[in-house]
Every structure is written in structure tokens, then in C-alpha cells.
């Protein structure tokens, strides 16, 4: 008899059931069946996790650990992540429907994020100030900001957890990671590695649960000093409001509707590959998906033919099968949203070049790769973040028009440019309002490169050297080096 795996909460170094008794099921999108159950945190569990994090922050085991020693712990965690990348990847595929080839490779690469910040752990420096008062020695230190609430969505969760957890731990903070209540199993499996790496109890807790019982109490908690959130703009607005209760420093990595600009001098084969990768990679379930393809009119038809030809060979199927290119979407709500948005787009005059339906699959979570041809920028698929394998192409006539169309969005996370002109690449990149621009490539990431957006794509940056400083506060120390007693404060000289 096969029993479903059950996942508990990881709080203060212990595995615990949720005190509220709430248990949820996790659905395997590939077959639409529940495959696992998990405990959900209550407000009391959240308080227990945050209290443990605050206690660990001041406990000698973590407080007095040298930065070099903290770095070694992160190196150990990195090795464990790399060692268990296949297992974690397969769990994530079963839980979310993402391709196993992608989840395993991405998890393996995530280990480099922990290594990068492990190396930076003892590079956080202060300064001696050339102060304007004699007899004073004044210096600054960067101190851990405190307890961090890291909130991670279901897509790319190992990566998005690393961009928060690695710099926070390197800076000496403690962290409560809140996994999405949709497909949380990989994050809870990852908690086992936290324990195995040897972090003191309470330094990292991993919990999950719904908004009312878990996310809201966490982001409002009086002892949370920093919130690192990845998700949608609507949820982010609630997070910002909640942070007014504790004045927690907040960074937001939100959605996107990224433009990919293809100019007439571009290598069209490369551009077609970039558009396919940017739209059909991860079945379109990516915040940097390049779902607004803006194409110079002279090459529009040729590019459409090339994309259509290349897409014919794409295989939609079992995400565990190495031959599969696109797996199911994580939720049926995404599929319904895509269908509704496509219906509006067609009514507005858009044409579906291929795809446009769920296809013939065993599970209702699937949606076939789709290409939408648009003649005006008002088409619905050019506006809505659909989180599915839907590419929209819109022609433009001039560089100025292309830039205006690229910036005509509430979002500003990623962007792409395909051109053989180095001058144009720099010129256009400088004018596009996005946090990331890829030129003649797309969806490349690195722990060395900052990641984040403009406008409603959020604020703050993850990855890169600057990110670790966001988990610190500057402390200034004044030392009177004179042997003379302090002067009378009421005598002004």
C-alpha cells in the first residue's frame, strides 16, 4: 500500500505539526492527483519560529561565531545542495510540474549562490572615519539587520530562496523562510539540509501555510526586522501594509511583462531561440518571461515562420521524461486565466498562429505552446502576466517606437535586445526601464549579477555584492582617546 509523504514544519531545529491542525494537499500537475500532504503554520507557529530566530540571533552559538565560520557553514550547505540536487529537483518536478531536467540543473547551480555568499561572509567591512573633532576615534561596523522573513513563491523556489537566505546568513541574520502553500515540498526537503549542515537551532526555520494563518502574522510580527518577498504585485501591497506594523525593511521582487526587441539586423535564428527560451522555457512560468516580442516590421514575417518551424518540434508531456520540452502548469487557475486572456485578445483582433488550447493531455494542467500575432499594443496578451507558454509578437517601424512600446508597461523586470549593432545595443538598453537587459541572449543569471526590477516589478536587488549589505545596518562607535575628562556640556567653546 502506497502512502502519501507528509511534511511537517521545521521550527527551531525541530520537526513539528502545525498547532492549528490545518493540513493541505499538494497536487502533482502531471496527473492532477494529490501526491503529498503538509502541515500548515498557525499564527502561534509563526510566533514560535520568529521568537526562535530572535533568540538565536542573540545566542552565543550564532552571535559569537566568526564571519569566517559562518562562511564555512554556507560552504557546507552548498555542498549538500549540490549533492542532493537530483533528489530536490525530482521532488520539485513532482510538486510543481516543472521539467526535471530544469529543476535538477537549477538546483545544482543554486549551490554556487551559497558558495558566492560564503566567500563574502568575512568581506563585510566597516571604516575608520576622518572625524572633524580632535581626540576622537570613530569607526563604523555593519551589523546583522536581525530577523528576516523570506517569502518564496512556488516557481524557481530553490533559486529564490538562495537569493534571500545566502546573503542573510552571510551577514549574520536569522531567517524564517515561508514557502508557498502551492508546491512547498522542495523547500521543506531543503530544510533537512539546513539541519544537516549544522546551523544552530532557530537560525533558519522553514514553514508554509495560507495568507491568514501564516503570511500575514509573519509579515506583521513585531520582531521581524526585514522582509524579502517574491511574488505578485497585489500580494506585495499587503506585505507593504503589514510592514507598517513593525517598520521592517522590505524588498520586493515582483512580476514582469518583459519586452524582447528584435531589430532588422538581428541574427534571426538567435532571436527565435531567445523568444522561445523566454516564453516556453519553464512553460512560461517565469517572472522574466519575454512575453512581449517587439519585432522590426521588415523581419516580422520571417521571424514568425522561424518560430513556428522551431516550435513544431517541441514536446509537451511528462516533466520527468528527458525528452519533454514543456510540462504542465502548476495550477489549473493559470490555465483558466490563459484561456480567458486569449479569448479577449482574439476579440480585440489578435490572431493565434499556433497553439491556443489545452491540447489532448491526461491532466487539465497542460496548455500547449502558443503564438499570438498582434497589430496593436492594446491586445490583452501584451498587458497581462499570464504565467504560461504564450508568446505575443507585435511589429514596430522605428527604434524610437520600439523603445516607447518596451516602456509602455507597468512592469520593468527584464528585457531583451537582438541586434548586430553594438551602438544600438548600448543606446537602446540605456533607455529601456528595466532592471535587467539581455543582449543577444536571454534568461541568463548569476550570483554575481544583481537581479531586480523597476516600476511595479518591485524594488531592491537580489544577488551581487550589494545584496549582502541590505541585510546589515551601520553602527557608528565614538571613542574619546584623550586622557582629559569630558568637558562640561553646558560650556560652549
From the list 253, 380, 385, 462, the catalytic residue is 253
What does the buried/exposed string (b/e) look like for 6-20 if buried means 16 or more CB atoms within 10 Å of the residue's CB?
ebebbbbbeebebbb
Answer yes or no: 253 catalytic: yes
pLDDT digits (tens, 9 = 90+) for 260-280: 999 999 999 999 999 999 999
So what's the pLDDT on residue 2?
Answer: 57
CA atoms within 13 A on the CB side of 115: 11
- Note the pLDDT tens digit of each residue in 137-194: 999 999 999 999 999 999 989 999 999 999 999 999 999 999 999 999 999 999 999 9
| pLDDT at residue number 487 | 83
Query: What is the per-residue pLDDT for 362?
Result: 84
Where b means 16+ CB within 10 Å and e means fewer, 170-204 reads bbbbbbbbbbbbbbbbbbbbbbebbbebebbbbbb
**Residue 337: which H helix or E strand, with range?**
helix 332-347
| pLDDT digit string, tens, across residues 445-467 | 999 999 999 999 999 999 999 99
CB atoms within 10 A of CB 377: 17
Average pLDDT, stretch 327-345? Answer: 96
Which stretch of DSSP H or E encloses residue 478?
A: strand 472-480
Query: CB neighbours (10 Å) of residue 56?
Result: 24
C-alpha cell at 383: 498587458
pLDDT in tens, 371-386: 999 999 999 999 999 9
In order of 403, 404, 427, 471, the CA distances from 400 in angstroms are 5, 6, 11, 40
Distance CA 401, CA 385 (A): 22
Which tens digit of pLDDT belongs to each residue from 126-137?
A: 999 999 999 999
Mean pLDDT of 412-435: 98
Mean of the per-residue pLDDT values for the chain?
96
Domains of the chain (ranges, CATH numbers): 6-254+453-477 (3.40.605.10), 259-439 (3.40.309.10)
Q: Given this model, what pLDDT does residue 492 score?
A: 72
Helix (H) or strand (E) holding 6: strand 6-7
pLDDT confidence of residue 489: 83
The torsion region of residue 356 among left (phi > 0), alpha (psi -120 to 50) and beta comes to left
What is the full DSSP assignment across 8-21? -EEETTEEE--TT-
Q: What percent of the chain has pLDDT over 70?
A: 99
pLDDT at 486 over 90: no
Residues 6+ apart with CB under 8 A from 190: 81, 88, 158, 161, 206
Is pLDDT above 60 for 62? yes
Is residue 293 scored above 90 in pLDDT? yes
pLDDT higher than 80, residue 331: yes
CB distance 424 to 263 below 8 Å:
yes
Confirm if 389 and 279 have CB atoms less than 8 A apart.
Answer: yes
3-state DSSP assignment of residue 302: helix
Helix H, strand E, coil C: the string for 95-158 is HHCCCHHHHHHHHHHHHHHHHHHHHHHHHCCCEEECCCCCCEEEEEEEEECCEEEEEECCCCHH
pTM greater than 0.85: yes
pLDDT in tens, 92-127: 999 999 999 999 999 999 999 999 999 999 999 999
What pairs with residue 392 in β-bridges? 292, 372
Amino acid at each position: 500500500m502506497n502512502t502519501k509523504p507528509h511534511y511537517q514544519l521545521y521550527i527551531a531545529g525541530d520537526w513539528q505539526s502545525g498547532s492549528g491542525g490545518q493540513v493541505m494537499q499538494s497536487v502533482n500537475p502531471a496527473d492532477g492527483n494529490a501526491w503529498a500532504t503538509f502541515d500548515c503554520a498557525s499564527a502561534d507557529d509563526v510566533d514560535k519560529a520568529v521568537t526562535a530566530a530572535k533568540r538565536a540571533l542573540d545566542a552565543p552559538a550564532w552571535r559569537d561565531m566568526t564571519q569566517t565560520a559562518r562562511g564555512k557553514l554556507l560552504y557546507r550547505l552548498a555542498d549538500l545542495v549540490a549533492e542532493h540536487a537530483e533528489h530536490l529537483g525530482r521532488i520539485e518536478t513532482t510538486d510543481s510540474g516543472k521539467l526535471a531536467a530544469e529543476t535538477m540543473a537549477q538546483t545544482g547551480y543554486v549551490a554556487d549562490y551559497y558558495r558566492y555568499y560564503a566567500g563574502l561572509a568575512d568581506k563585510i567591512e566597516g571604516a575608520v572615519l576622518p572625524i572633524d573633532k580632535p581626540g576622537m576615534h570613530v569607526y563604523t561596523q555593519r551589523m546583522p539587520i536581525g530577523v528576516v522573513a523570506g517569502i518564496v513563491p512556488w516557481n524557481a523556489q530553490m533559486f529564490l530562496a538562495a537569493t534571500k537566505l545566502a546573503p542573510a546568513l552571510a551577514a549574520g541574520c536569522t531567517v524564517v523562510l515561508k514557502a508557498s502553500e502551492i508546491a512547498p515540498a522542495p523547500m521543506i526537503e531543503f530544510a533537512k539540509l539546513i539541519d544537516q549542515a549544522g546551523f544552530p537551532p532557530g537560525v533558519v526555520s522553514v514553514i508554509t501555510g495560507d495568507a491568514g494563518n501564516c503570511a500575514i502574522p509573519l509579515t506583521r510580527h513585531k520582531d521581524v526586522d526585514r522582509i524579502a518577498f517574491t511574488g505578485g504585485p497585489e500580494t506585495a501591497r499587503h506585505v507593504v501594509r503589514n510592514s507598517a506594523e513593525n517598520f521592517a525593511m522590505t524588498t520586493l521582487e515582483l512580476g514582469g511583462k518583459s519586452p524582447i526587441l528584435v531589430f532588422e539586423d538581428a541574427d534571426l535564428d538567435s532571436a527565435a531561440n531567445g523568444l522561445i527560451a523566454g516564453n516556453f522555457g519553464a512553460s512560461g512560468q517565469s517572472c522574466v518571461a519575454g512575453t512581449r516580442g517587439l519585432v522590426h516590421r521588415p523581419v516580422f514575417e520571417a521571424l514568425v515562420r522561424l518560430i513556428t518551424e522551431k516550435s513544431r518540434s517541441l514536446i509537451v508531456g511528462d516533466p520527468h521524461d528527458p525528452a519533454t520540452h514543456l510540462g504542465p502548469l502548476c495550477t489549473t487557475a493559470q490555465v483558466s486565466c490563459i484561456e480567458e486572456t486569449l479569448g479577449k485578445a482574439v476579440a480585440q483582433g489578435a490572431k493565434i498562429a499556433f497553439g491556443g488550447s489545452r491540447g489532448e493531455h491526461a491532466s487539465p494542467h497542460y496548455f500547449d505552446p502558443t503564438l499570438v500575432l498582434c497589430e496593436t499594443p492594446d491586445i490583452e496578451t501584451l498587458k497581462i502576466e499570464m504565467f504560461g507558454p504564450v508568446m505575443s509578437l507585435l511589429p514596430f517601424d522605428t527604434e524610437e517606437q520600439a523603445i516607447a512600446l518596451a516602456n509602455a508597461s507597468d512592469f520593468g523586470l527584464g528585457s531583451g535586445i537582438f541586434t548586430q549593432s553594438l551602438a544600438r545595443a548600448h543606446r537602446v538598453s540605456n533607455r529601456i526601464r528595466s532592471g535587467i537587459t539581455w543582449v543577444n541572449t536571454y534568461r541568463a543569471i548569476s550570483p554575481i549579477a544583481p537581479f531586480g526590477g523597476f516600476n511595479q516589478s518591485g524594488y531592491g536587488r537580489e544577488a551581487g555584492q550589494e545584496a549582502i549589505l541590505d541585510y546589515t545596518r551601520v553602527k557608528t562607535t565614538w571613542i574619546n582617546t584623550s586622557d582629559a575628562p569630558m568637558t562640561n556640556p553646558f560650556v560652549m567653546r
